[in-house]
Amino acid sequence: MIVLEKRPQPSRAWSLATPVLAVVATMVFGGLLFALLGKNPVEAIRTIFWDPLFGEFAFYYRPQLLVKGAPLVLIAIGLSLGFKAGIWNIGAEGQYIMGAICGAAVGLAFYPLDAWYVFPLMVLGGALGGWAWAMIPGILKVRFGTNEILVSLMLVYVAEQLLASMSLGLLKNPEGFGFPGSRNLNDYPSASSWISQDLGMHWGVVAAFIAVIFAYVLLNRHMAGFHIRLTGDAPRAARFAGVHPGRLILFCLGVSGALAGLAGLFEVAGPAGQITIDFNTGYGFTAIIVAFLGRLHPVGILLAGGLMALTYIGGEAAQSQMALPAAAIQVFQGMLLFFLLALDLLTNYRLRLKTREVA
């Protein structure tokens, strides 16, 4: 029979190979899913992974990769810091929403003032909105020992209700003929995050690259990064080394919430353009896949964010060109995390054939 045998130490080779094998397995089983739906699996996989980069309309799709990838990278970088320390923030979607609401509210409060300081204040508002929302599970965990997974996740639904309330109430466009939603921030130059729409560049893309550099320096060149890694690898040793668990929890959740809030602000001030009831698109949950696919490493997260953005763009192309249902694309993306977690088992365990003992 086949048994799992724990390795003396995690396999570095399997750790590096797992993301690649997970992508290959997702392509194979995703192709089978598309075949069951009556679609050509080879054409579907090509449409998702090849056409956005090298197809006939690649000139249109390529800039969209930056637009889709930037919020995923920003959120995943923040999540990875907590995950490395064993702090599980599952509510980044709520922090993303709150960052968008607070940032947009700052910009709309100044409407129609055309001043250079409006957008920086929006950035500050977005970061503070996400940070404050992340502090709720952080403070509850430090003060009362609550589970940050459950609290942060439940707060997502509270944020969604606040989003609907703002779209229909305080932030509703007074000139919108009664339709829900705020003014379009792209029509308000001081509040727009776009640098160049033709190139797919907005300040969120710049912030994503800065976040990658910041996280790399923090984890490899700073004492706080050492404390994060030590807490995740050896919690008891971290306590003996003088790491204050409460401060670390608040730091990791605070940074994670602020980056998620920034992602929401750059999205509402750029690609989305306005606060609407359906503003949230699941970036906060998808970023969990990005964080683990990138092995919680800043550079890996940057590459994984590009790959996940490719599945978004390619998935939309497959829906329009091949009439694939949106649910099938979501299942396809979910397969990636499933295979990643399943194959990651081989990083710490090896398969052994063992003969049954005769009684």
Tokens (6 digits) for 249 = 């929890």
pTM of the entire predicted model: 0.93
Q: Is the torsion defined by CA of 73, 74, 75, 76 positive or negative?
A: positive
pLDDT tens digits in sequence order for the chain, 359 residues long? 778 888 888 888 888 899 999 999 999 999 999 999 999 999 999 999 999 999 888 888 888 999 999 999 999 999 999 999 999 999 999 999 999 999 999 999 999 999 999 999 999 999 999 999 999 999 999 999 999 999 999 999 999 999 999 999 999 999 988 899 999 999 999 999 999 888 889 999 999 999 999 999 999 999 999 999 999 888 888 888 888 999 999 999 999 999 999 999 999 999 999 999 999 889 999 999 999 999 999 999 999 999 999 999 999 999 999 999 989 998 998 898 889 888 888 888 888 887 766 65
Neighbours of 299 (CB within 10 A): 13
pLDDT of residue 356: 67
pLDDT of residue 191: 93
User: Distance (Å, rounded) from C-alpha 269 to C-alpha 205?
Assistant: 13
Query: How far is CA 190 from each of CA 122, 123, 172, 251, rounded to the nearest angstrom?
Result: 10, 12, 19, 31
pLDDT of residue 59: 86
pLDDT of residue 167: 95
As a whole number of Å, the CA-based R_g of the chain is 22
CB 184 within 8 A of CB 273: yes
CB 5 within 8 A of CB 352: yes
Could you tell me which residues are beta bridge partners of residue 353?
2
User: Distance (Å, rounded) from C-alpha 164 to C-alpha 182?
Assistant: 11
Four-CA torsion 344, 345, 350, 353, nearest 10 degrees: -120
User: Distance (Å, rounded) from C-alpha 27 to C-alpha 46?
Assistant: 10
Domain boundaries, the chain: 40-323
pLDDT of residue 357: 63
Strands 194-196 and 201-202: antiparallel
Task: Give the CB-side neighbour count of residue 214, counting CA atoms within 13 A.
Answer: 15
Q: Give the three-class secondary structure for 50.
A: coil
User: Distance (Å, rounded) from C-alpha 270 to C-alpha 227?
Assistant: 36
Distance of CA 120 to the CA centre of its chain: 23
Tokens (6 digits) for 59 = 């000139």
Written out in words, the top-level CATH class of the domain with range 40-323 is: mainly alpha
